[in-house]
Amino acid sequence: MSGLHIENLCAWYGAAQVLHGVHLRIDEGEAVALVGRNGSGRSTLAKAIMGLVRCAGDMRFRDVPLIGLRPHRIAPLGIGYVPETRDVFPALTVRENLVLGESKGTRFTQDDAFRLFPVLEERASVKAGALSGGEQQMLALARTLAGDPSLVVIDEPGEGLAPQVLAQVAACLAALRERGIAMLLIEERLTIARMLDARVAVMGHGAIRFDGAMETLRQDAAVTRQWLSVGGSVDSG
């Protein structure tokens, strides 16, 4: 089996169960947008994939079972993760951050990073902590790509970005898609998902409530009403 297969995934923080039987499949090279309201469990699913929360069920990436694997074993399988917090090392320069993210023999070199994100080359000697939110997002993404993933899990990349910067980040994600990198794109609204024409999975109360084409979701007013906030509807941005 190729891609990521998730079946009946449950996850807990301590005694509190947050994911209640998630089913989701991401094929090689496919972009899937995971949307839902605040607190619906989207980030928890990302953390579960990366081995960062306690979970049970069946989850495989390219046939390798992920449940029970430690985070440092999961990333080398080819899964990159850009958390909500956009982890960059603030005291290190842009260039140093990129070098640290590099895996041996990566197909994504520093030159690639600079080609995809020209602003990072301009800011190469600047400390990451001094970058704007959009620049930090690009650096976090470039660092993740330097790890040579075939699937990128990216949590709310557009959060807090001005529309113009958001469009830039979206263009970068589109470029990745063209390179055949699969993506789980977590958003609150379908802003970037629409630009990528991603398949859509809607999460509500820790389970997937809709999974299909954006056009199908557009015609399903009940799903939008029940599981997405007004601003998350397919037709608003």
Give the residue with the Cβ less far from Mg ion, 43 or 97: 43
Rounded to a whole number of angstroms, the distance between the first and last alpha carbons of the chain is: 36
What tokens were used for 180?
A: 């055949």
Map 108-129 to HEC letters.
CCHHHHHHHCHHHHHCCCCEHH
Rounded least distance, CB 161 to ligand ATP, Å: 15
Minimum Å gap between C-beta 17 and ligand ATP is 9
Residue 214's nearest CA partner among 228, 227, 200, 196 is 200
Cβ 75 to Mg ion shortest distance, Å: 20
Q: Residue 2 or 85: which CB sits closer to ligand ATP?
A: 85
What CA–CA distances, in Å, run from 117 to 124, 133, 141, 157, 165?
11, 14, 10, 15, 12
| Binding stretches for Mg ion (CB under 5 A) | 43
Nearest approach, Cβ of 160 to ligand ATP (angstroms)?
Answer: 12
Question: Cβ 43 to ligand ATP, closest distance in Å?
Answer: 3
The item of ligand ATP, Mg ion, none sharing an interface with residue 21, based on CB under 5 to 8 Å by kind, is none
Other C-beta atoms lying within 10 Å of the C-beta of residue 88: 25
Q: Of 14, 74, 13, 79, which is closest to residue 44 (Cα–Cα)?
A: 13
Closer Cβ to ligand ATP, 42 or 199, answer by number: 42
Which C-beta is closer to ligand ATP: that of 85 or that of 132?
Answer: 85
Q: Which option in Mg ion, ligand ATP, none does residue 13 bind, with CB closer than 5 to 8 A by kind?
A: ligand ATP
| 18/131 with CB nearer ligand ATP | 18
Binding-site partner at residue 199 among ligand ATP, Mg ion, none, CB < 5 to 8 Å by type = none
Paired tokens of 201? 């999975």
- Rounded-to-integer distance, Cα 4 and Cα 62, Å: 6
What is the binding site for ligand ATP (CB under 6 A)?
A: 13, 16, 18, 36, 38-44
